[in-house]
Amino acid sequence: MPWKTLIKGTILVAIFSIFLDISRRTFISYLEFLGVTYLLLAIYIWWKTTVRVIINSDQVEVKSFLSTKRFRISDIQDLFYNQGILQRKFDLISIYVITKRGNILIKDLRDGRHVYEALDAAYRANHAGDSTEQGQSV
């Protein structure tokens, strides 16, 4: 995961740097700009790597350094995953969970397929009787 974020950040810095007037006089300021930018990028990468998904029998917790999101498995209405070009290159996926109370995005998980399969199995087990209970044919 850090490589994808580092590449994206470096591309943004390169694009932004094209428009800067860098001379001998401003070179030290530019180096300070790069230092602050990459320090903030490193903090962001560290924060992204602290995300943990804990699946219990009836609820799911998505924990990061700054926040914890909890939702019940019974509240899940749908879930799917997405994998962009860089995510595919670095074997990451993002999981989208649609619940009754809102949508939750779990971005750039290294073990995302495992987490998705566990979430999907819990969702299917919890909603196994829903379609027949409502009188719909299976």
Token digits for 3? 């490589």
Token digits for 94? 């993002």
Overall fold of domain 51-128: PH-domain like (2.30.29)
Q: What is the pLDDT along the chain (138 residues), one digit of tens a residue?
A: 578 889 999 999 999 999 988 899 999 999 999 999 999 999 999 988 888 999 988 899 999 888 899 999 999 999 999 999 988 888 899 999 999 999 999 988 888 899 999 999 999 988 876 654 443 333
Token digits for 32? 């300070």
DSSP β-bridge partners for residue 78: 98
pLDDT of residue 133: 45
What residue segments make up the domains of the chain, in order of their start?
2-48, 51-128
DSSP β-bridge partners for residue 59: 72
pTM for this one? 0.71
DSSP β-bridge partners for residue 55: 60
